[in-house]
């Protein structure tokens, strides 16, 4: 089965630093997502992305966050100035875009802000 | 706004017994409903979905879920639990007409004892 890949698997950073989390969605998918999970708890929606623009974003996705699809394969999440509370597992997902279709998730990037 | 509730943080079942993981939802109109499973240090894996038609949906690993519109529920079930079913289970909903986000419940940790 095709996979969503995420790099790095772990990222440690100092508070106030910028981080970029990288994802390679499944090649024929059209919708891309970022979710996060804190301490193995609830999976929270951050943002969805389609046709090179944000489709929807949550309250969590403030001005410190941005997403980009810099080329035909990568999808990135940037946090400009990390805070302690940004520490979480960040999951990338992709789908074909049809509303009844499932999301395919990557294995996640564990971000630790010190 | 769409939402999902999983009232149980943890469900404990003996191997071989039937299991039920509860989920209720709130969404405008008819929903698309999903169940995902998460094993330790892994991303979310799709189990099954309800789109339309038969209220009983069958999915991976012998799991099934029953859609009940009047009770706005989508409980996950399995007739005979295995120790390997122990994991974190998430119910999710997407509203029709939205090709965007899927909202997840808070998760239920399923523990199967030998």
Distances (CA, A) of B39 to A39, A75, A92, B84: 14, 24, 16, 10
Q: Please answer yes or no on whether A102 and B98 come within 8 Å at the CB atom.
A: no
Domain positions in chain A are: 31-96
- Nearest CB to A42 within list B34, B94, B107: B107
- CB of A94 within 8 A of CB of A4? yes
Query: Is there a cis peptide before residue A8, judged by omega within 30 degrees of 0?
Result: yes
Q: Does B3-113 carry CATH code 2.60.40.10?
A: yes
Looking at residue B59, what is its pLDDT? Answer: 94
Rounded to a whole number of angstroms, the distance from the CA of B17 to the nearest CA of chain A is: 26
Q: Please answer yes or no on whether A103 and B99 come within 8 Å at the CB atom.
A: no
- CB of B23 within 8 A of CB of B91? yes
- Nearest CB to A99 within list B32, B88, B105: B32
How many Å apart are CA B92 and CA A35, to the nearest integer?
13
User: From the CB of residue A110, how many other CB atoms can be counted at a distance below 10 Å?
Assistant: 16
pLDDT digits (tens, 9 = 90+) for B12-70: 999 999 999 999 999 888 889 999 999 987 889 999 999 888 899 999 999 999 999 99
Mean pLDDT of B83-87: 96
Listed residue (B77, B99, B102) closest to B89, CA to CA? B77
Chain B partners within 8 Å of A97 (Cβ): 99
How many Å apart are CA A20 and CA A17, to the nearest integer?
10
Please tell me the CATH code under which domain A31-96 is placed: 2.60.40.10
pLDDT exceeds cutoff 70 at A69 = yes
pLDDT digits (tens, 9 = 90+) for A11-61: 999 999 999 999 999 998 989 999 999 887 889 999 999 889 998 899 999
């Amino acid at each position: 089965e095709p996979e969503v890949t995420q790099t790095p698997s772990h990222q440690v950073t100092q508070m106030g630093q910028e981080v970029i989390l990288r994802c390679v969605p499944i090649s024929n998918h059209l919708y891309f997502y970022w979710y996060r999970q804190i301490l193995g708890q609830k999976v929270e929606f951050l943002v969805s992305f389609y046709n090179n623009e944000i489709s929807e974003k949550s309250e969590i996705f403030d001005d410190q966050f941005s997403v980009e699809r810099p080329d035909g394969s990568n999808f990135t999440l940037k946090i400009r100035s990390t805070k302690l509370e940004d520490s979480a597992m960040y999951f990338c997902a992709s789908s074909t875009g049809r509303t009844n279709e499932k999301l395919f998730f990557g294995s996640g990037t564990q971000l630790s802000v010190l | 706004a769409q939402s999902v509730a999983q009232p149980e943080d943890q469900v404990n079942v003996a191997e071989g017994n039937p299991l039920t993981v509860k989920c209720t939802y709130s969404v405008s109109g008819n929903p698309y409903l999903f169940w995902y499973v998460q094993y330790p240090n892994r991303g979310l894996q799709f189990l099954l979905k309800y789109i339309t038609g038969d209220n009983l949906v069958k999915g991976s690993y012998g799991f099934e879920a029953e859609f009940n519109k009047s009770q706005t529920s989508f409980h996950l079930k399995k007739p005979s639990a295995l120790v390997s079913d122990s994991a974190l289970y998430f119910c999710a909903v997407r509203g029709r007409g939205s090709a965007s986000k899927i909202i997840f419940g808070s998760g239920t940790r399923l523990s199967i004892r030998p």
